[in-house]
Amino acid sequence: MSKSHKELIISFMKAVVLQLQATDDSQLESLLTGKAQLEFKITHVAKEPADKRKDELPEGFEKNAVEKLHGFSTRDEGERYLEQLCRTKEDLLRIARYLDLPAQKKEPIKQIKDKLIESTIGFRVRSAAVQGTSREPS
């Protein structure tokens, strides 16, 4: 038997032992008396890349992001903030969904950012410009 086969069998047996250790006494008794069977099922588990899990933003970050965006007075400030906060398109889409904005995965990142900025900052800047109190150059 090759070393890799031996290692696979050892790993498998360790997994069996761990499962048996996790059973309670009544389950083990049922196995030993033949009232129950131990079955194995092979399933493939898709793992997320480790770097994706580390970069994932916490649940509820959307509310904080929107509050912060509402506080900015220029589009540039908002754009810089989104650049720092959102590492992926999915992060931007989460904020867009929170704001009930129509945004799709197939849209370019720039377009999604523009929608977010327009809905949180842009309307105020435009309104101020119309009123003659513009803080941002056109």
> Average pLDDT of 5-9?
88
User: In the structure, what pLDDT confidence band is assigned to residue 57 with cuts at 50, 70 and 90?
Assistant: low
Residue 72 amino acid letter: F
Q: Which domain holds residue 28?
A: 3-33
> Average pLDDT of 77-94?
90
Claim to verify: residue 59 and residue 111 sit in the same structural domain: yes
Asked whether the predicted pLDDT for residue 124 surpasses 50, the reply is yes
Residue in the structure block whose two tokens are 């309307």: 123
Claim to verify: residue 84 and residue 24 sit in the same structural domain: no
Claim to verify: residue 11 and residue 57 sit in the same structural domain: no
Asked whether the predicted pLDDT for residue 106 surpasses 90, the reply is yes
